Amino acid sequence: MRFPENFLWGGAVTAHQSEGAYDIDGKLPSVCDLLARDDASNFHDGVDSYHRYDEDFALFEEMGFKSYRFSIDWSRVMPDGFHFNEEGMAFYDRFIDSMIAHGMEPICSLYHFEMPMVLYEKYNGFYSRIVVDQFIKYAYKMIDRYGDRVKKWISFNEHNGILLDGHKLAYGAICPEGVKEELFFHQLMHNSLYAHAKVTEKVHTIENALMLGMVLYIPHYSASCHPMDELAARNHMAKTNVFLDVFVHGEYSPYFLKKMKHDQTMPVMEDNDLKIMKENTVDWISLSYYNSDIVQYDSHHSYHILNNPCLEVSQWNWSVDPVGLRIALRDIYEKYRLPVMVVENGLGVEDIFENGTVIDDKRITYLDAHIKQVGKAIEEGVDCRGYLVWGPIDILSSQADMNKRYGMIYVNRDNNNLRDMNRYKKKSFEWYKNVIHSNGGLIDDE
**Cα–Cα distance between 411 and 20 in angstroms, integer?**
13
d(CA 202, CA 209): 10
* Alpha-carbon gap, residue 44 to 400, rounded angstroms: 10
Q: Is 158 a catalytic residue?
A: yes
> What is d(CA 360, CA 428) in angstroms, rounded to the nearest whole number?
6
What are the angstrom distances between the C-alpha of 120 and each of 51, 75, 171, 199, 307?
A: 28, 12, 8, 21, 34
279 is catalytic: no
Q: Which of 158, 181, 354, 430 is catalytic?
A: 158
Query: Please, what is the end-to-end C-alpha distance for the chain in angstroms?
Result: 9
Tell me whether strands 384-390 and 8-12 are parallel, antiparallel or unpaired. parallel
Give strand pairing partners of 306: 294
CB 138 within 8 A of CB 119: no
How would you classify the pairing of strands 302-306 and 293-298? antiparallel
* Catalytic hit among 201, 230, 344, 350: 344
- What's the CA gap between 383 and 162, in Å, rounded? 27
Compute the distance between CA of residue 384 and CA of residue 326 in angstroms, rounded to an integer: 11
> Rounded CA gap, 434 and 84, in Å?
42
Which residue in 118, 95, 109 sits closest to 28, CA to CA? 118
Residues assigned a catalytic role: 158, 344
